[in-house]
Chains A and B, each alone.
Chain A
């Protein structure tokens, strides 16, 4: 308690205008910024993977398995920031066993469990089954047993069985696309359905979340593919990169249009809250929204990819531009999440004042904790690639 009081007291002096006295404590901090960012990457990576299986985009085959594992790694970590931010993490199980049926948040456990078990685990299992069985046959020791257990002791790699696997990968992916939409659209709904908060309350919120998720997922897989492949001493597949960048470009155009629509709609309707929101955007959020999210994270990458596509550029230049664009997009999407979650709490519901967000460094909700949460999926991904190598050569063994 002492710590909290020490943290809040200086904020009293930095409040602009009038805010309700209970609003000085900002309730959802950086961990809740991470949550939609991480689930967005899950949904985005999965949608990218599904392009290969459902829409037959052959060029993206080199990133298919990597995208699946990325989705898995981020999905496993996604609930952690939520759990860490609860006042009583030890009671979190109540959300699963006695959920309140009118609460959007109560659906989290079910949407999450469905996505993890019915979509990702199943698809990865069917996709890898043949390889796991073959690996287990060749290996010895603990690795053999890990693979045996993951294959659930199945041994059948007859033509018929493999055909069955293939069919089911496709079916699961088809179920998976709406599920991925549900997973992230639902996160958007958590914010979009809060009528008390005009910055959040928008019917476009779930769909904006979704498209920004796809943008971030594609960019993340592109970054991972471009880092991992040279590290493994392999050649980057330029056709695959071109395709990834094209999809990134198209989805960014949709995302940008949706966000522009949201903006124009707000300004045009000019409701009660417009003055304080305009002040919020032009002051507290100017750097993170206008500079980082809009220019750095959206317009510059769009322009760069467009230019490189129009002009016939050498592959090396292309690679560099794609990589820089993807990094910028990543920063931009993180900033988007920040602007939604933190931005939505910086103005008072009295519409008469603004407060500040001061990030702490230590503690469960501090900066370091969130850095750890952010790094975890990459560590997990490393472990996953050791157990289930997504590389082509591992497959052809």
Chain B
């Protein structure tokens, strides 16, 4: 009889031991799930505060290259609005200058991302064929390679089509930076997480325009809804011949260029 009791005790002991092991093993996983459900904390807060419903929107941007004068105000405004480090290695948006000469020679530059303006230095006497400025920004691809490769799902495409990064979740592996064909991403030197244009998400949830659009003196940038006929962006797409960057990569950008030159990559 005594023997039996001891035996059952052992069994109970073993069972509780196994239970403890299972709990120990599962705890980090459960912790991870909790972390995941907490993922969109900041973004959700903005949305709730402003009664913003992402599924009602689909955002895009139009850029008219013939209107851009290369003043670089957009790049300055972006850095100020979004606390982007001021050093010339980190940009959410920048402006490139193209100079194409008669002999086929092409010069492209973007000193400090256009923030200091462009010097009128002509290094050659060759005759210029055409010259223009191209503002660059995250293309908020509908088929975003950066989102595809992120190992933890920290970067994602919202229902409104905007590609965002959750810095609480980003592990800083930089795979998304490698995967972006447009050089639109960088690693923030202080937070050590991936950074990019958000279309000034904190502004658009409040029905405001992105900073770069707001400050552009020539209205070269047009921001708006892609699915609403009355939107200025839809009008922009109707009135212009439109090009996108690197169409062969099938990233389906939502930044549309009017008067795009074949030399722009």
Residues of A within 8 A of B (CB): 1, 4-5, 8, 12, 17-25, 27-28, 82, 85-89, 91-95, 97-100, 102-106, 108, 190, 193-197, 272, 345, 348-352
Which residues on the B side are within 8 Å of A102 (C-beta)?
A: 147-149
Let me know if A196 and B174 touch, CB within 8 A.
no
For B173, list chain A residues within 8 Å (CB).
82, 85-87, 105
Minimum C-beta distance from A178 to chain B (A): 23
Please name all residues of chain A whose beta carbon is closer than 8 Å to the beta carbon of B17 when the two chains form the complex.
none
Known: A105-B175, A194-B149. A25 touches B187 (CB 8 A): yes
Q: Select which of B109, B136, B148, B193 is within 8 A of A88 by beta carbon.
A: B193
What residues on A are CB-neighbors of B178 within 8 Å?
27-28, 194, 196-197, 345
CB distance from A17 to the nearest CB of B (A): 8
A27 touches B181 (CB 8 A): no
Contact string, B32-44, partner A, CB cutoff 8 A, digits 1/0? 1101100000000
Of B57-65, B82-90, B119-127, B207-215, the one touching chain A: B82-90
Contacts of B109 in A (CB 8 A): 18
Since A24-B88, A93-B32 are in contact, a sample of 9 more A-B pairs with Cβ atoms closer than 8 Å, ordered by chain A residue number, is A1-B190, A18-B96, A20-B183, A27-B178, A87-B171, A94-B171, A100-B150, A102-B148, A190-B175
Residues of B within 8 A of A17 (CB): 108
Q: Contact check: which of B31, B89, B148 meets A21 at CB < 8 Å?
A: B89
Closest to A195 in B: B249
Chain B residues with a Cβ under 8 A of chain A: 28-29, 31-33, 35-36, 85, 87-91, 94, 96, 106-110, 112-113, 136, 145, 147-153, 169-175, 177-187, 189-193, 248-249, 265
What CA separation (Å) do A392 and B258 show in the bound complex?
74
**Residue of A whose beta carbon sits closest to that of B110:** A21
Task: Choose from A23, A27, A100 the contact partner of B174 (Cβ within 8 Å).
Answer: A27
Q: Is the CB of B179 within 8 A of A95?
A: no
- The minimal Cβ–Cβ distance linking B93 to chain A, given in whole angstroms, is 10
Nearest residue (CB) in B for A3 is B189
| Complex-state Cα separation, A21 to B175, whole angstroms | 18
In whole angstroms, how far apart are the Cα atoms of A98 and B169 in the complex?
10
Chain B residues contacting A82 (CB-CB under 8 Å) are: 173
Looking across the interface, which residue of chain B has its beta carbon closest to that of A190? B175
Is B35 within 8 A of A94, CB to CB? Answer: yes
Cα separation A89 to B189 with both chains bound (whole Å): 15
Name the residue of chain B whose CB is nearest to the CB of A273: B265
Task: Tell me the complex Cα distance, A351–B263, Å.
Answer: 11
Q: Are the CB atoms of B190 and A87 closer together than 8 Å?
A: no
How long is the Cα–Cα vector from A197 to B176 in the complex, in angstroms? 12
A364 → chain B closest CB, angstroms: 11
Q: List 19 A-B contacts (CB under 8 A).
A: A18-B107, A20-B110, A20-B183, A21-B91, A21-B110, A22-B186, A23-B183, A25-B186, A27-B177, A82-B173, A86-B172, A93-B32, A98-B152, A100-B152, A106-B152, A194-B178, A195-B145, A196-B145, A349-B180
* Complex CA–CA separation, A229 to B173 (angstroms): 41
In the complex, residue of chain B having the shortest beta-carbon distance to the beta carbon of A200: B178
Q: Is the CB of A22 within 8 A of B32?
A: no
Pairwise interchain contact B182-A95, C-beta atoms closer than 8 A: no
**Residues of the B chain whose Cβ atoms lie less than 8 Å from the Cβ of A103:** 148-153, 175
Chain B residues with Cβ below 8 Å from A349 are 180-183, 265
- CB < 8 Å neighbour of B151 from A8, A106, A197: A106
- CB-CB < 8 A to A23: which residues of B? 183
Closest to B88 in A: A21
Q: Are B89 and A24 in contact (CB under 8 A)?
A: yes
Instruction: Please give, as numbers and ranges, the residues of chain B lying within 8 Å of A195 by CB-CB distance.
Output: 145, 181, 249
The 10 closest A-B pairs by CB, nearest first: A87-B172, A20-B183, A97-B32, A87-B192, A196-B181, A100-B153, A18-B108, A106-B151, A105-B151, A27-B174
Complex Cα–Cα for A23 and B85 (A): 15
Asked whether A22 lies within 8 Å of B184 as measured between CB atoms, the reply is: yes
| B179→A194 contact, CB < 8 A | yes
Q: Is the CB of B151 within 8 A of A28?
A: no
For residue A344, give the distance in angstroms from its CB to the closest CB of chain B: 8
Contacts of B182 in A (CB 8 A): 20, 349
Q: Is the CB of B181 within 8 A of A8?
A: no
Rounded to whole angstroms, the CA-CA distance of A4 and B265 in the bound complex is: 28
Instruction: Report Cα–Cα, A82/B29, bound state, in Å.
Output: 22
Question: Residues of A contacting B90 with CB < 8 Å?
Answer: 21-22
By the criterion CB–CB under 8 Å, are B108 and A95 in contact? no
- Contact partners of B187 in chain A: CB under 8 A: 25, 27, 87
Give A100 Cβ to nearest chain B Cβ, in Å.
Answer: 4
For residue B112, which residue of chain A has the nearest CB? A21
Query: Chain B contacts of A108 at CB under 8 A?
Result: 151
Specify the chain A residue showing the minimal Cβ separation from B188: A87
Provide the residues of chain B in CB contact with A98, threshold 8 Å: 32-33, 35-36, 152-153
Which residues from B are CB-within-8-Å of A93?
28, 32
Q: Given the complex of chains A and B, what is the CA–CA distance between A89 and B173 in angstroms?
A: 9
- The residue in chain B whose Cβ has the minimal distance to the Cβ of A90 is B171
CB closest residue in chain A, given B156 = A100
- Residues of chain A within 8 A (CB-CB) of B106 are 352
